[in-house]
């Protein structure tokens, strides 16, 4: 039995290419792709974090189309992952919601393509998820990654996904990084 | 030293939701996401396979924007993965091109979300990539997966990515499936 795991995609506070603090836009495919990966790997809630009301409303309209509207009829397979998506204002709100849903304080685990202090391996993180404990909120950043304040305030920091290339090129999309992380943390099938 | 690995995204012949043979459209994000994942994991060529000239021209215009146009200036990190993309008419053309580039007949390895006969584990496939041998073309389907003719004609079939869910829900996007497969096959291997 693993600990309850949830995932958050943060649009603020994140970094821009030049390292300043910015707010990114919600994109349709970040909703779909990460919801599908999350649901496939047994994630219990996918939080879209955005401080701007108009962006949250846009996301909610997309979700409604796939959970209640014509999308749900046309592609019923899309409904369960979309039902697990929750649109919130801040990472704190996401963390409090996870804690409330599971009746125990959620641990915040952050990810980055950059090295972070005190980071643990994905293997160690997978081991922690298999041991008894409270719920976990795995946090991914959009743009050029989570702001330092989010990284410093987290309970756990996960090592970056390392490129096997000699030149170290490492520019995965957040959708690809989410899929790889969920596979490394949650794939329970030793036969593959 | 691993074998040279290439990847192909097939838009025909693939299956529709109801199991009939169809041609799907090239999507912008399939180009970007899979090119970024492929380049990060040291893949040496990413083949976009489409039988319709207008679709190939569309893809070529997108690629040109990111390799020579303003996209290359604005986000230079996107240039190397986009330079590795090759637009071809058929899977046979892709296979012949890989064979010609590496001077040895390419092996075609196919993937599917459905069980296939004589399929090998991802661990076994990763082991084969680390041993001496000719180039490999890893083939992914769009739509509801590769046509049976492609699966039956392949040199190797890889087991599906298995969901750890009790209900077996397994609807990864092709972008997520590509990322997970590349990570399982190539993470930790030295650059070829």
Q: Closest approach of chain B CAs to the CA of A16, in angstroms?
A: 12
Per-residue model confidence as pLDDT tens digits over A155-175: 999 999 988 888 889 899 999
Instruction: Give the pLDDT score at B166.
Output: 87
The yes-or-no verdict on residue B57 having pLDDT over 60 is yes
Instruction: Give the pLDDT score at A189.
Output: 44
Whether residue A165 and residue B77 make contact (CB cut-off 8 A), yes or no, is no
What rounded mean pLDDT belongs to chain A?
A: 94
CA A26 centroid distance within chain: 13
pLDDT band of residue A51 (cuts 50, 70, 90) is very high
Q: Which residue of A has its CA nearest to B174?
A: A33
Instruction: Give the pLDDT score at A72.
Output: 86
β-partners of residue A64 are: none
Instruction: Give the pLDDT score at A191.
Output: 39
- H/E stretch holding A146: none
Instruction: Give the pLDDT score at B137.
Output: 98
Instruction: Give the pLDDT score at A69.
Output: 87
Per-residue model confidence as pLDDT tens digits over B68-116: 989 888 888 899 999 999 999 999 999 999 999 999 999 999 999 988 9
Per-residue model confidence as pLDDT tens digits over B156-179: 999 999 888 888 898 999 999 999
Dihedral angle sign, alpha carbons of residues A188, A190, B4, B9 = negative
Whether residue B162 and residue A192 make contact (CB cut-off 8 A), yes or no, is yes
Dihedral angle sign, alpha carbons of residues A127, A129, A132, A134 = positive
Distance (Å, whole) CA B81 – CA B44 = 10
Grouping H, G, I as helix, E, B as strand and the rest as coil, residue B49 is strand
Instruction: Give the pLDDT score at B105.
Output: 98
Nearest by CB to residue B176, choosing from A36, A170, A171, is A36
Instruction: Give the pLDDT score at B108.
Output: 98
The yes-or-no verdict on residue B155 having pLDDT over 90 is yes
Nearest by CB to residue B190, choosing from A75, A164, A187, is A164
Instruction: Give the pLDDT score at B2.
Output: 81
| Residue A87 neighbours by CB under 8 Å, 6+ apart | A47, A48, A50, A56, A59, A60, A63
More confident of the two residues B71 and A14: A14
Nearest by CB to residue B39, choosing from A37, A169, A186, is A169
ipTM for this model: 0.94
Per-residue model confidence as pLDDT tens digits over A62-103: 999 999 989 888 888 899 999 999 999 999 999 999 999 999
Instruction: Give the pLDDT score at A184.
Output: 95
Mean pLDDT of B137-153: 97
Instruction: Give the pLDDT score at A173.
Output: 96
Token pair, residue B100, equals 């010609």
Distance (Å, whole) CA A119 – CA A140 = 15
DSSP string, A55-100: HHHHHHHHHHHHHTSHHHHH-GGGHHHHHTEEEES-HHHHHHHHHH
Whether residue A164 and residue B176 make contact (CB cut-off 8 A), yes or no, is no
Q: Report whether A38 contacts A182 (CB < 8 A).
A: yes
Question: Chain B contact for A43, CB < 8 A?
Answer: no
The yes-or-no verdict on residue B191 having pLDDT over 70 is no
The yes-or-no verdict on residue A122 having pLDDT over 90 is yes
Phi first, then psi, for residue B104 (nearest 5°) are -155, 145
Instruction: Give the pLDDT score at B192.
Output: 33
The yes-or-no verdict on residue B1 having pLDDT over 90 is no
Q: Report whether A49 contacts A88 (CB < 8 A).
A: yes
Distance (Å, whole) CA A111 – CA A117 = 12
Rounded percentage of chain A residues whose pLDDT exceeds 90: 85
pLDDT band of residue A192 (cuts 50, 70, 90) is very low
CA A87 centroid distance within chain: 12
Mutate to test the interface with A, among B9, B175, B184, B192 (most CBs of A within 10 A): B175
């Amino acid at each position: 039995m693993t600990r309850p795991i949830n995932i958050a995609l943060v649009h603020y506070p994140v970094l821009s290419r030049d390292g300043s603090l910015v707010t990114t836009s919600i994109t349709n495919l970040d909703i779909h792709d990460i919801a599908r990966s999350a649901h496939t790997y047994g994630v219990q809630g996918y939080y879209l974090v955005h401080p701007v009301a108009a962006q949250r409303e846009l996301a909610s309209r997309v979700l409604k189309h796939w959970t209640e509207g014509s999308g749900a009829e046309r592609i019923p397979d899309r409904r369960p992952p979309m039902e697990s998506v929750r649109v919130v204002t801040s990472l704190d709100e996401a963390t409090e919601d996870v804690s409330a849903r599971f009746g125990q304080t959620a641990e915040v685990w952050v990810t980055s393509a950059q090295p972070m202090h005190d980071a643990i391996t994905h293997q160690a993180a997978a081991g922690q998820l298999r041991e008894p404990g409270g719920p976990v909120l795995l946090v991914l950043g959009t743009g050029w990654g989570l702001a330092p304040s989010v990284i410093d305030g987290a309970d756990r920091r996960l090592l970056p996904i390392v490129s096997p290339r000699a030149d170290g090129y490492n520019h995965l999309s957040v959708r690809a990084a989410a899929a790889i992380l969920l596979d490394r943390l949650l794939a329970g099938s030793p036969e593959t």
